[in-house]
Amino acid sequence: MSDDTRQMLLDTLERVLADHCTAERVQAVDAVGFDPDLWQVLEELGFTVAAVSEASGGSALGMADLCALLRLCGRHCAPVPLAESAVLAAWLLAGAGQAVPSGVLAFASANSRDLEITQQNNGLRLHGVLPRVAAARHAASVLVLLERDGQTQVTQLGPQDYRLEPGDNLAGEARDDLHIDTIIATDRMYRAPAGITAASIHERAALARAALMSGALERTLQQSLDYARERKQFGRALAAFQAIQQQLAILAGEVAAACAAVDHAALVADFGVATDEIAVAKIRAGKAAGLACRIAHQVHGAMGFTQEYSLQHATRRLWAWRDENGSEAAWARQFGRRLASAGADALWPLTTASGTAVAD
């Protein structure tokens, strides 16, 4: 994609989100965590199939461009599941050779701990619980990734296939448990695109989450800077106090580091395996989130904790998102194991060279 086309997409999404994600509107839909009017606009403009191939009616954007779009969504605290529906479910469904329906698609990756999969007659019996599925209550169907007998398959579940138990994360976004006891006919099972595994989808989801976090971090920084310039204490703007300046400098550094890590991981992911880069991006975004929320609320004081003030739209999302798709602690353990198993000869290239792959 040319730089001009990329900028046109970003500018278009920026205008849409600026119009639809005012503080008042985000607060108004906070109880349900989803804005159907905004989703309809995004669908009409093609953003909901941005990751889908052109042959399937999409824009075929790579991860670098998708992460740029998600950063805008995070910056505006957009109450729509664009990451889960467009970057994961629609992309995977189109890659499996199936038409992408309109509306929200939810996504879940099943494992043997949560879902029992057994052969029955001419299909598979699925029994168990898929926990905390994002936006399931807003979706017409849920795309489920299954690994069985060395094969990766996907299937679509409709409301008739599960009982939904509503749940929310700290930001008020839907994280629903799906209680499943159904038989899926073989014609509803589709082979996943080549190279797709539960691990690779987990990495893609983590990178998308980190991109959203980088946008929310930028918003937190900007709101803190604006407040420090405008708010006066003892006849001086807060920004004139050295202690406030120091904290804002730390916040700015954390935001810059997280954004750089996400950008780098997205670029590497467009050209191949980016397991280590994605691990670093999610770790860095999680660490920045903890510091950013603390500093931002300290700068704002009591005002920042009020429901009427929009800082909480970003910080609640950061608190929720840092633990989703793998916390920084989980990714740090995985990354540490890879470093430890690489051996002395591979350690230096692995820690200094971009895109270096090490077999698990």
Q: Which structure tokens are listed for 197?
A: 């595994």
Closest CA to 339 of 280, 263, 262: 280
What length is written for the chain? 360
How does DSSP assign 171-207, residue by residue?
TS-BEEEEEEEEEEEGGGEEEPPTT--HHHHHHHHHH
Residues 15-25: what's their mean pLDDT?
96
Looking at every residue in the chain, the average pLDDT score rounds to 92
pLDDT in tens, 287-299: 999 999 999 999 9
Amino acid 359: pLDDT: 38
Strands (DSSP E) found in the chain? 105-109, 115-120, 123-134, 141-148, 151-157, 162-165, 175-185, 189-191, 232-233, 236-237
- Residue 8: pLDDT band (50, 70, 90) is very high
Q: What is the mean pLDDT of residues 182-201?
A: 92
Q: Can you tell me the mean pLDDT for 11-19? A: 97
Say if residues 281 and 176 touch (Cβ distance below 8 Å): no
- The C-alpha atoms of residue 86 and residue 104 are separated, in whole angstroms, by 8
Q: Which of 180, 184, 97, 96 is nearest to 136 (CA)?
A: 180
Compute how many other C-beta atoms are within 10 angstroms of the C-beta atom of residue 294. Answer: 14
Contact 265, 210 (CB under 8 A): yes
Could you tell me the CA-to-CA distances from 316 to 30, 67, 81 in Å, in that order?
A: 11, 20, 16
Mean pLDDT of 183-198: 91
The stretch 103-131 carries a mean pLDDT of 90
- The amino acid at 247: Q
DSSP code at position 76: T
Q: Is the pLDDT of residue 39 over 50?
A: yes
CA torsion angle 170 318 75 145 (round to 10): -80
Q: What domains are there in the chain, each with its CATH number?
A: 3-191 (2.40.110.10), 198-352 (1.20.140.10)
Residue with tokens 């510091």: 291
What's this model's pTM, rounded to 2 decimal places?
Answer: 0.94
Residue 344 has pLDDT above 90, yes or no: no
Q: At a CB cut-off of 8 Å and minimum separation 6, what does 327 contact?
A: 286
Going by C-beta distance under 8 Å and a sequence separation of 6 or more, which residues neighbour residue 45? 12, 13, 16
Give percent of the chain above pLDDT 70: 98
Lowest mean pLDDT among 92-101, 130-139, 183-192, 338-347: 338-347
Better-predicted residue by pLDDT, 342 or 351? 342
Question: Worst-scoring range by mean pLDDT, 57-61, 68-72, 136-140, 315-319?
Answer: 57-61
355 pLDDT band, cuts 50/70/90, is low
Q: Retrieve residue 132's tokens.
A: 């905390």
Q: Is residue 148 pLDDT above 90, yes or no?
A: no
Average pLDDT over residues 236-257: 94
